Amino acid sequence: MSTHSWPYPHIVAHRGGGKLAPENTLAAIDVGAEWGHTMIEFDAKLSQDRQIFLLHDDTLDRTSNGWGVAGEQPWSKLAQLDAGSWFSKAFDGEPLALLSDVAARCRQHRMMANIEIKPTTGSEAETGRAIADAAKTLWQGMTAPLLSSFSYEALEAARQAQPDLPRGLLLDEWDEAWQAKTAALDCVSIHLNHKLLDAGRVAVLKAAGLHILVYTVNDADRARTLLKWGVDAICTDRIDIIGPDFR
């Protein structure tokens, strides 16, 4: 059972701006702040030359005008890409974001962060270490960012590098070994696809001493039900209807 505190709010803006801005960009973080959100979730990985930047997919194709595996390209090339125009013309020219710039935005907006470690295949441990070390430095003087990952190896590397940073294990499918894995990683939380939960399962997880963050909840009634069951945090794309004061 983790001894970490839980300073995080009930509502977390998915990938910065949810459905209102191009995901994982500084513009998205600004949109989340405009809607009053006090915590964002985003995905981080390493470039070929070990710069930490934001991107969900392994490849650039879906959310930029680039193509190919992002982690196999240097930051000098990635920095030239347009990561906004795919979403709308209003965001033409929006660049990919470095983790250091995101930390500065969080400081500016007084926002908390859930950093999902998204390693390129084969770089799990390296990515976990690098992101944990950077997060420890960049978020000094702010609420510690909550690190999460689907990769056990990446989270274990993050734990070894910066054991004081809180961690959450991500699961998209139920894993009967959840308790052993979260205990071994000294997780403060477990992050689950909300469809995996019912009231009984929430009670079991809470009894094990875990906080629960769920994704991606875009229906207000479902969000209320989850909170009633005892879920601690809801990650949402609908940052306009499931706002920071949502109950």
pLDDT single digits (tens) 43-101: 999 999 999 999 999 999 999 999 999 999 999 999 999 999 999 999 999 999 999 99
Whether the pLDDT of residue 232 is over 80: the answer is yes
Instruction: Decide if 56 is catalytic.
Output: yes
* Residue 4 pLDDT level (bands cut at 50, 70, 90): low
Give dist(CA 211, CA 230) in Å, integer: 9
Q: Of 4, 37, 56, 211, which one is the catalytic site residue? A: 56
**Per-residue pLDDT for 206 more than 60?**
yes
What number of CA atoms fall less than 13 Å from residue 11's CA on the CB side? 27
Query: What percent of the chain has a predicted confidence (pLDDT) above 70?
Result: 98
Catalytic option among 14, 37, 194, 211 = 14
Residue appearing with tokens 């033409």: 92
Tell me the average pLDDT of the chain: 97
What is the pLDDT at residue 82? 98
Looking at the predicted structure, is the pLDDT value of residue 3 above 70?
no
CA 181 vs CA 74, 90, 99, 203: distances in Å: 34, 43, 27, 18
Report, as an integer, the average pLDDT of 8-25.
98
pLDDT of residue 5: 85
